[in-house]
Amino acid sequence: MSPSRVDKRKSAFSASMQLPKKRKVQAYLDPRNIRDKLGAWKELKRMQETENRPDLPSIFTNEGPPVVIQAQSPSKTAALTPCNWEITAKSAQNESETEVKALKATISSLQSQVESLTQRVVAAESYRKLLQGHILDLKGPIRVICRVSPCVAASLPIDYPEAGFGCGQLHTIALNLGFARLSFTCDQVLPPETRQTQVFAEVQSYVQAAIDGQQVTILAYGATGSGKSYTMEGSQTEAGILPRAADCLFEGVRQQHLSANLRIVASCLYISDDYLHDLLCPQSHRLSIKSLGGKVVVDLLSWHEVSSPQQLLSLWRTAKGHKRNEQASHCLFQVVLEGSDASGRIIEGQLNLVELAGADEAKGPDGKWLEATFSALKKVISGRIRPNKVPCLPAYRDSKLTRILQDSLSAGKVLFLVTVASDANKAAETRQTLGYASDLQTI
């Protein structure tokens, strides 16, 4: 073999032996290859660590403002483990359940207290109604009160000595006419200096009786100019019986929590020459009195529901505006309460406010039917006060007024309020008025 061929074979052999090693070393030592492999290894390492640990809170991310994390003790650091988180959640849930149970127990206790207090209030209210009824019974089914108006002219001597404190004793009012001295009796005498508040103090218990479900009638009787209208209506500076009764009525309903299940309606009519006229509906049909379900009612009379004292007074002013002042008449304002109280007892109370015609008008052109009305009213009231001295049956049908008020006059509470003037010029009217009021007590 020639030397040249030998050299070629050596060179080929050496090339075949060295070239692979050269390529391997170059591939391994390539910086880009090393960087890619290192990056892949780091990514694989990070993924393995992520799979082996729970998600960290958002405060460890780079989102939002930087958060300063203070070093914690080993015990606090241990609370970040999943096991401690579950224990903390269960503890918080147990605390919430304990608080809910405690609140439910408190609510149940308060509800029991409310029920107990409600029962006590109902019992106390029933006891109050019982005592109120006994007090009115002791005063009598019909009470006569005389109010002397202030003197504005020449004075007429009127004496009203106080009665004793014994049960059943009457007050005496003496009228000095110069040639004679006449004495009259009534349940209570209110002197000229009596204010409207003191007058209503005698009336308030009757308004409360109407709220409690009784039939109540308040009649104002007196001569023209004796203060009858002033006593009932009052003035701009000092309210009378009607405005104060309206306030007392709705205040009593509110205090007894009856407004939710109580309905209050009102009507107003006047009786003139034995004809009935609806003052709140002047264009209505002719009214008539009927007996319906054992009760006396006025057929076709309009009733208006009210929810405040202002509405009640507005109805009264409207009715007074429709009244004919040129005719002698009796004005009857009725307020009816229908519903139930806190104990479930049915309430059917009624308050009748009656402003009678002037006592002096009985001598005028309308004197015949006025005299018949006053006579029937005297018989009915006297029969209630002195039933043994009036053997005849009550004359409810003798007049339209007593017929309409039959239910209240026969079984309800009646307050007969008499007003007299202390002027010498009205001595005859004062004598007539006091004589009529005294006859109610003595017949």
Q: What is the DSSP string of 197-221?
A: HHHHHHHHHHHHHHHTT-EEEEEEE
Who has greater pLDDT, 159 or 425? 425
Cα–Cα distance list, 292 to 289, 296, 335, 384 (Å) = 10, 6, 18, 24
Least confident range from 21-25, 96-100, 142-146: namely 21-25
Judged against a pLDDT cut of 70, whether residue 97 lies above it is answered with yes
Name which of 179-183, 208-212, 254-258 the model is least confident about: 254-258
pLDDT digits (tens, 9 = 90+) for 142-154: 899 999 887 665 5
How confident is the model at residue 167, as a pLDDT?
39
Instruction: Kindly report whether the global pTM for this prediction surpasses the value 0.75.
Output: no
Distance from C-alpha of 292 to C-alpha of 298, rounded to nearest angstrom: 10
* Residue 186 contacts residue 194 (beta carbons within 8 Å): no
CA distances from 132 to 64, 202, 204 (A): 76, 13, 11
Range with the poorest average pLDDT among 253-262, 271-280, 399-408: 253-262
d(CA 69, CA 290): 93
- What percentage of the chain exceeds 90 in pLDDT? 21
Is residue 298 over pLDDT 70? Answer: yes
Q: What pLDDT does residue 306 have?
A: 93
**pLDDT tens for each residue of 34-53:** 777 777 777 777 776 665 55
- Are 281 and 349 within 8 A, CB to CB? no
Q: How far is CA 40 from CA 19, 32, 36, 51, 274, in A?
A: 29, 12, 6, 17, 118
Instruction: Give pLDDT, residue 308.
Output: 92
Q: What is the pLDDT of residue 340?
A: 80
Residue 439 in this model has a pLDDT that exceeds 80? yes
- Two tokens, residue 327: 């005719």
